[in-house]
Amino acid sequence: MDVLQIVAIGLMATVLIGVLKSQRPELAVLLSVAAGVILFLLVLGKIGSIVVVITDLSSRAGISMVYLGTILKIIGIAYIAEFGAQICRDAGEGAVATKIEFAAKILIMVLAVPIVAAVLQSLLKLLG
Amino acid sequence: MGNSIDLIFKIAGVGILVAVLSAILKHAGKEEQGHIVTLAGLAIVFMWVIQLLAALFEQVKSVFRLY
């Protein structure tokens, strides 16, 4: 039962952060980072097997790996950026968090531009 | 797995220890040393968390093919 383990780690980390927050807020931030990383590492292996299945399905459907790779990259960037931004926001640095999110949006846009261009190209081919 | 849960307890332990030590040092009139103790605790915990973060980034990179 992985879910019990995850909930137990979360509750334990919450209590310990509550103890530390009044005395040492900077260590409380690091503790919440550690708890977040541990919780995510617990489920990352399962995400990996889901990704393998999706890759298999898309190769059977004849979808180019370029598109799937782009989508996976976008999901990864979005996750990492969200993780960092939420930690910054928890620590009371909303401005830094907003900038992290902005940068991640730009990076995602850069990755998505080739796909948009391909869509437009095929649209033009259909029209012309 | 068990190792990583140990890390949460280790960080909380360092935090409580640092809080108590700096309170004692403050009471004894040695506030500068209390600051140094705080800084040392922060540095130690930061090293652990940075290593954990590096492991996370490596895993995310390999799962989502972010090379």
Is residue A50 in some structural domain? no
Q: Which residues on B lie below 8 Å from A48 (Cβ)?
A: 62-63
Say whether A24 and B38 touch across the interface (CB within 8 A): yes
Is residue A53 in some structural domain? no
> How far is Cα A55 from Cα A117, in angstroms, rounded to an integer?
23
Instruction: Give the gap in angstroms from C-alpha A66 to the nearest C-alpha of chain B.
Output: 11
User: CA-CA distances (angstroms) from residue A126 to A62, A115, A116, A121, A123?
Assistant: 21, 17, 15, 9, 5
Residues A76 and A128 in one domain: yes
- Domain holding A115, by residue range, is 64-128
**pLDDT (tens digit per residue) in A61-117:** 988 888 888 888 999 999 899 999 999 998 889 999 999 999 999 999 999 998 899
Q: Which residues on A lie below 8 Å from B16 (Cβ)?
A: 19-20, 23
Cα-to-chain-centroid distance, residue A14: 22
User: CA-CA distances (angstroms) from residue B59 to A43, A48, A66, A128?
Assistant: 11, 9, 21, 45
**What ipTM does this complex have?**
0.84
Is residue A87 in some structural domain? yes
Residues A69 and A128 in one domain: yes
| Chain A contact for B39 (CB, 8 A cutoff) | no
Say whether B55 and A30 touch across the interface (CB within 8 A): no
**pLDDT (tens digit per residue) in A53-69:** 999 999 899 888 888 88
**Per the structure, how many domains does chain A have?**
2
| pTM reported for the whole predicted model | 0.83
Residues A70 and A39 in one domain: no
